[in-house]
């Protein structure tokens, strides 16, 4: 099973705006899900694959992805990925229905 390591850089994930440095194991797959608030992602290493109704986006090192809150999509990484993620508010990860 793939794992995720998150280190909060500023704020608190459950209660306030925050930024995290996130490491995903190789071939991490979060499946279809929805975040309650916006997510901004910068890939530091590896690749972040995001798929939604508009299609698949591959985001590589130094590239940026904005995912609006309420958008349903699938997220995966290839191979091992390191990301910087920021969120303007607390966030909840909801499995797709």
Write out pLDDT tens, residues 62-91. 999 999 989 999 999 888 889 888 877 666
Q: Which long-range contacts (CB under 8 A, 24 or more apart) does 1-4 make?
A: 2/26, 2/27, 2/28, 2/29, 3/28, 4/28
Over the stretch 44-67, which tens digit does the pLDDT of each residue have? 999 999 999 999 999 999 999 999
pLDDT for the residue 86: 81
The pTM (predicted TM-score) of the whole model is 0.79
List of domains in the chain: 4-95 (2.60.120.10)
């Amino acid at each position: 099973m793939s794992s995720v390591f998150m280190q909060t850089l500023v704020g608190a994930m459950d209660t306030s705006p925050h930024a995290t440095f996130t490491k995903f194991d190789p071939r991490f797959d979060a499946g279809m899900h929805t975040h309650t608030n916006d997510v901004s992602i910068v890939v530091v290493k590896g690749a972040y694959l995001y798929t939604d109704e508009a299609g698949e986006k591959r985001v590589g090192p130094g590239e940026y992805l904005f995912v609006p809150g309420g958008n349903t999509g699938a997220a995966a990484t290839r191979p091992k990925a390191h990301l910087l993620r920021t969120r303007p508010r607390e966030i909840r990860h909801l499995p797709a229905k």
